[in-house]
Structure 1
Amino acid sequence: MKLLHRQIFLELCKLFGLTVSCLLGLILIGRMLQLRTLFLSQNIGFFNILQLFFFLTPFFLLLVMPISTMLSVFLTFLRMSTDNELTALKANGVSLYKMLPAPVAFCALCTLFTFFISFWGLAWGMDMFKVKLYEFARTHSKFSLQPGVFNKEFPGLTFYAHQVDNEKGILKFAFVRDQSTQGASVVVVAPEARIISSPKTAEVKIVFNRGKIFRQDGDELNVLKFNTYSVRLDLGELLGGFNFTEQKAKDMTFSRLSEIRRDPSKGPSQTPRFQRKVDTEYFKRLTLPLGCLILGMFAIPIAYVFRGLKQQYGLVLSMGLFLVYYSMFSIGVSMGEAGSIPPLYGMWAPNILYIFVAVVGIKFANEERTLPIVDWIAHLRGRLRRAEA
């Protein structure tokens, strides 16, 4: 039995690695195509883009882990059923219950790993994504000032510096022209300026020292001297309106979500809609990891029912069954955030339904019986064929 469990577990791990790699690759390519305008408009290198997507991996893994677990278990038992290995084991007195330790241990490990991503990895990845995107925008984007070159990346603003020290952030003989106010033009000129970055607020502040301000409003021109003058720039505007400072429920740690649920006043917003999003995200972080164990167990009786099915068709079938699960889950998320139903019910409904089918299905599969719904479908197909004849 140890040898049998080891072989099943190894096959599950091999299929799991292949499935996760393929799904993550497809998702990352799709997301890269969505963000191509953002990245191509800046001087961000290919390896920098890969680094950004690495920090997005926990977010995608939270969605990929349940289906990868389900596909691994389904394809493993479907192959064993197609090759008559299950029949041979059954003939030698090995029931389905005796084969369960390997898939249960595999699904439990996947569930624990997904819980780790859900509780800590997701928030870490999103925070690092914002920090790195800010750094790349500040140091590699077109806004990086070059000596003797006019920069017009920000709407209504034009920057110029005769000398630029990017390492120290020092500008010599610098000026900025502000035309953001209709009917007025402001020009700031100074022999020296410094660039000060603020990653927390995603702002870059250019501080001019001992210069002059020329303000033209119609035919009137005013000249002012100053010791220090600051121009604040939001790098989010440079990246197509990306918001670095907004605190979203999906970017928070699980402990932070729990804290806001206990005391809504500690959240960045006290609106009912935000509280519903926090509740929905809280239960989402609990139910998705458990989906690995539930869907994995659900896949075993499904593989028994569709024994003899080719693997390519089995793959399509399992994807369709997961699509039903994820559609129910997405509907629960939407209705929970909209306030149509409590998030608790919407998030747990798919898991409860699939748990019931898994338990009943494993019992029927162990007894070499098919589910009543399968008999009904076969009976209906027979009647349709006879009617056509």
Structure 2
Amino acid sequence: MKLAHRLIFKELAVTFTLSVSTLLGVLLMGRMIQLRELLMGHDLGFLDLMKLFFFMSPYFMLLIAPIACMLSVFLTFLRMSSDNELTALKAGGVSLYRLAPPVIFFCIACTAATYFISFHGISWGMNNFRSSVVEFARTKSRFAIQPGVFNRDFPNLTFYAKNTNPETGELMDLFVRDSTVEDAPVIIMAPYGKITTKPDEGIMEVAFRNGRIFRRGKGELNVLSFRNYTVRVPIAMLIGGKFFDSSRISEQSVATLQRMKNNPSEKLLRDENRWRKVHNELAKRYSLPFGCFVLGLFAMPVACVFRGLNQQYGLSLSLGLFLVYYTLFSIGSSLGESGVAPPTVLQWIPNVLFLVIGLVLLRYTNLERVPSVLERIMHIKARRAES
């Protein structure tokens, strides 16, 4: 049995890795299309793109992990059933319950990893994603300040620097024309400047030293000397500002969400929609990772019930069952966010429902019986096939 358990766990792990890689690749490719405006202006290499995708992965893993866990268990036991391995084990006196330990251990491991991602990984990944994009914008974008070139990629701003150091952000002999105010353009000249970034705000700051500001207006020219002067460039508006909102509820850690719930600010209390989103997101972070355990146990007897099914059809069936689960979860999330009922209750309904059905199916499958509902469905299908 130890050998059988090791082989089953190994196959579960391999299938899980392939499922996660495939699903994550599809979702990241879809997100890359959404980020095309952000990425087109950058001279990014393959490793830079992989770095961005790595930081985005935890955000998607919260959804991918449950379905990958379900696919792993379903496809593994469907293959064992199709190859008559389960029949041979049962003939040797091995019940389905004795094959459950590697599945349970695998589901617990996936659940624990997903909870870690839910609690810490999402906020860590998105914070690093924003930091990386802003840093790439400063050093590798087409609108980074190039030496000896008038850079007009910023709206209403023209930058010129005689010498630049992209690594340190230092600039020499600076010239900036600010035409934000149409009737009163401003010229800034300084011998020295430095670029700094603030990833949390999604901005680039150009700090000037010991320069002068020339302002023309109403037929006269005003000159102002300064020791320190800073121009703030809104990079977030240029390369997709929606990805730089660090206050988004869906990107906060569980600790931050819990703190917002227990000690809400007056602004949060006044914003009823945002207040409900905090409760809804917090319930989601606890309920969705547990879906790994529930769907994994649910998939085991379902694969045995539909033994002999082609793996392509089995994959479609598994995805369809997960779609049912996620639809129920989405409905509960929407109702919880609208304030119809407590989000914690609504978002745990799919877990409880699938867990109960999975345990019932596991009992029937171990007794080599089929629930009457499934028996009728299979009987009707057989009659249609004969006719």
Shared fold per TM-score greater than 0.5: yes
Question: Aligned residue for 2:339?
Answer: 339
Deviates more, 1:192-201 or 1:177-186: 192-201
Question: Aligned residue for 1:114?
Answer: 114
Supply the distance in 2 between the matched residues of 1:99 and 1:167 (Cα, whole angstroms).
57
**Amino acid of the residue matched to residue 236 of structure 1?**
A
Deviates more, 1:112-121 or 1:82-91: 82-91
What TM-score, normalized to structure 1? 0.92
Residue pair 1:154, 1:237 contacting (<8 A) in 2 also: no
User: Could you say what secondary structure the match of 1:14 adopts?
Assistant: helix
Supply the distance in 1 between the matched residues of 2:200 and 2:37 (Cα, whole angstroms).
25
User: Could you say what secondary structure the match of 1:264 adopts?
Assistant: coil
Structure 1: 4+ residue segments shifted above 4 A: 266-270, 379-386
Supply the distance in 1 between the matched residues of 2:312 and 2:188 (Cα, whole angstroms).
67
In structure 2, the CA distance between the partners of 1:121 and 1:246, relative to structure 1 (3 Å rule), is: closer
**Amino acid of the residue matched to residue 229 of structure 1?**
Y
Deviations 1:163-192 (A, max 9, x none): 323344333332211222233322222333
Supply the distance in 2 between the matched residues of 1:45 and 1:155 (Cα, whole angstroms).
27
Supply the distance in 2 between the matched residues of 1:379 and 1:324 (Cα, whole angstroms).
23
**Are 1:260 and 2:260 counterparts?**
yes
In structure 2, the CA distance between the partners of 1:331 and 1:182, relative to structure 1 (3 Å rule), is: farther
Supply the distance in 1 between the matched residues of 2:362 and 2:137 (Cα, whole angstroms).
53
**Amino acid of the residue matched to residue 233 of structure 1?**
V
Question: Aligned residue for 2:306?
Answer: 306
Question: Aligned residue for 1:220?
Answer: 219
**Amino acid of the residue matched to residue 257 of structure 2?**
L
Deviations 1:27-65 (A, max 9, x none): 222222221221012223332111011111112222111
Residue pair 1:247, 1:268 contacting (<8 A) in 2 also: no
Deviations 1:145-173 (A, max 9, x none): 12221111221111112232334433333
Deviations 1:237-295 (A, max 9, x none): 23132453531222221122112111112987752211211111111111111111100
Question: Aligned residue for 1:284?
Answer: 284
**Amino acid of the residue matched to residue 238 of structure 1?**
L
Residue pair 1:173, 1:192 contacting (<8 A) in 2 also: yes
> Cα distance, 1:103 vs. partner?
0.9
User: Could you say what secondary structure the match of 1:184 adopts?
Assistant: coil
Question: Aligned residue for 2:250?
Answer: 250
User: Where does structure 2 lack aligned partners over 5 or more consecutive residues?
Assistant: none
User: Could you say what secondary structure the match of 1:213 adopts?
Assistant: strand
Deviations 1:75-111 (A, max 9, x none): 1111111122222222222211121112111111111
> Cα distance, 1:201 vs. partner?
3.1
User: Could you say what secondary structure the match of 1:176 adopts?
Assistant: strand
**Amino acid of the residue matched to residue 103 of structure 1?**
V
Question: Aligned residue for 2:66?
Answer: 66
- Count of residue correspondences: 386
**Amino acid of the residue matched to residue 152 of structure 1?**
R
Deviations 1:101-137 (A, max 9, x none): 1211111111111111111122211111111112111
**Amino acid of the residue matched to residue 13 of structure 1?**
A
**Amino acid of the residue matched to residue 74 of structure 1?**
F
User: Could you say what secondary structure the match of 2:144 adopts?
Assistant: coil
**Amino acid of the residue matched to residue 62 of structure 2?**
L
User: Could you say what secondary structure the match of 1:347 adopts?
Assistant: helix
**Amino acid of the residue matched to residue 284 of structure 2?**
K
What TM-score, normalized to structure 2? 0.92
> Cα distance, 1:21 vs. partner?
1.7
> Cα distance, 1:373 vs. partner?
1.9
In structure 2, the CA distance between the partners of 1:172 and 1:362, relative to structure 1 (3 Å rule), is: same
Supply the distance in 1 between the matched residues of 2:4 and 2:384 (Cα, whole angstroms).
43
> Cα distance, 1:320 vs. partner?
0.9
> Cα distance, 1:15 vs. partner?
1.4
Question: Aligned residue for 1:148?
Answer: 148
User: Could you say what secondary structure the match of 2:241 adopts?
Assistant: coil
User: Could you say what secondary structure the match of 1:303 adopts?
Assistant: helix
Deviates more, 1:152-161 or 1:334-343: 334-343
Supply the distance in 1 between the matched residues of 2:35 and 2:79 (Cα, whole angstroms).
39
Question: Aligned residue for 1:162?
Answer: 162
**Amino acid of the residue matched to residue 326 of structure 2?**
Y
Question: Aligned residue for 1:175?
Answer: 175
Supply the distance in 2 between the matched residues of 1:311 and 1:44 (Cα, whole angstroms).
40
Matches within 5 A, 1:36-75: 36-75=36-75
Task: Calculate percent identity across the aligned residue pairs.
Answer: 47
**Amino acid of the residue matched to residue 63 of structure 2?**
L
